Amino acid sequence: MRTKVAVIGSGNIGTDLMIKILRVSATLEIVAMAGIDPASDGLARAARLGVATTAEGVDGLIALPGFDDIAIVFDATSAGAHVANAAKLAPYGKMLIDLTPAALGPFVVPAVGLDLNPGVRNINMVTCGGQATIPIVAAISRVAPVPYAEIVASIASKSAGPGTRANIDEFTETTAHAIEKVGGAGRGKALIVLNPADPPLIMRDTVLCLVDAPAPGTRAAITASIEEMVKVVAGYVPGYRLKQQVQITPIPDGQPVHTLAGAAAVTHQVSVFLEVEGAAHYLPAYAGNLDIMTSAAIAAAERISA
């Protein structure tokens, strides 16, 4: 028996999420979509596909017949809206999977793990940049200490909707915190670039880590760990891949890395270059930033339902 789920948000992310669940999930059944724009393409598509819809937001979702049977609710709105949605849904005991940068609940990156306390009812999927890069930081930190990790996520401007643009500050803050908490870095930093190129380019991510890895064997283990992690992420995001070979270079004498790593010892810089091509279930293939969010959210929901 499939686990019944609902989506709040009928924009790009919510609609892609709905279509992905219908097409690729063997364990989830989407039964409802809630939005606030009656004319949205997402609600229109949901209705055509036989999914119950409401344009009254989370209040309308709660009022829908069959709401009690829904076990998991995906929130694909905005950070501010999620705070209100979570408060309204709290009395009903649903599992909330938050695709906004609100970060009310613990961070979850499926490739790194899903270790949740039994009472947790709200998990956060970090950000698109976080889902793409935190697995790499975690892969490095499980081999050698990472006093500092920095990521740059470059996405096509055309793939950044109003929600993404309204949450840029939350994006950088949430991703930086998750780099530390989930990735294992001593200090994290995140940047996002909205690339205006036309035709649009697919998502590119750069990960830079300062590590303490003086032994050649340790550096070889770092490369192997990264390559293994890429395969894990690609298991639920098929368009996720290394753009080029992992680079590990010694830090020159006198380089002031203490401004980034503090007093921690660092010997090498690890540079990882990634790209994420979308599956084009609803959005163009260049929108890998949205694809990795919805794919990761589904992967998390499937593990929870299991």
Long-range CB contacts for residues 50-55, cutoff 8 Å, separation at least 24? 51/18, 53/10
- Overall average pLDDT of the 181-196 stretch: 96
Phi/psi of residue 287, each to 5°?
-85, 50
pLDDT at 135 (0 to 100): 98
Cβ within 8 Å of residue 169, ≥6 positions away: none
pLDDT at 53 (0 to 100): 98
Per residue in 115-145, pLDDT (tens digit) is 778 889 999 999 999 999 999 999 999 999 9
Q: What is the CA radius of gyration of the chain?
A: 20
For residue 162, pLDDT beyond 80: no
Question: What mean pLDDT is reported for the chain?
Answer: 95
- Distance between CA 87 and CA 54 in Å, rounded? 19
Per residue in 43-88, pLDDT (tens digit) is 999 999 999 999 999 999 999 999 999 999 999 998 899 999 999 9
Q: Where are the domains of the chain?
A: 3-126+291-305, 128-284
For residue 6, pLDDT beyond 80: yes
Contact in structure between 261 and 150 (CB atoms under 8 Å): no
Superfamily of domain 128-284 in CATH is Dihydrodipicolinate Reductase; domain 2 (3.30.360.10)
pTM assigned to the model: 0.95
Per residue in 264-273, pLDDT (tens digit) is 999 999 999 9
Q: Does domain 3-126+291-305 have CATH number 3.40.50.720?
A: yes
- DSSP track, 198-213: SSPPPEEEEEEEEE--
Q: Which residues are catalytic?
A: 128
CA proximity to 122, closest of 73, 64, 62:
73
pLDDT at 165 (0 to 100): 85
Per residue in 143-159, pLDDT (tens digit) is 999 999 999 999 999 99
pLDDT at 246 (0 to 100): 98
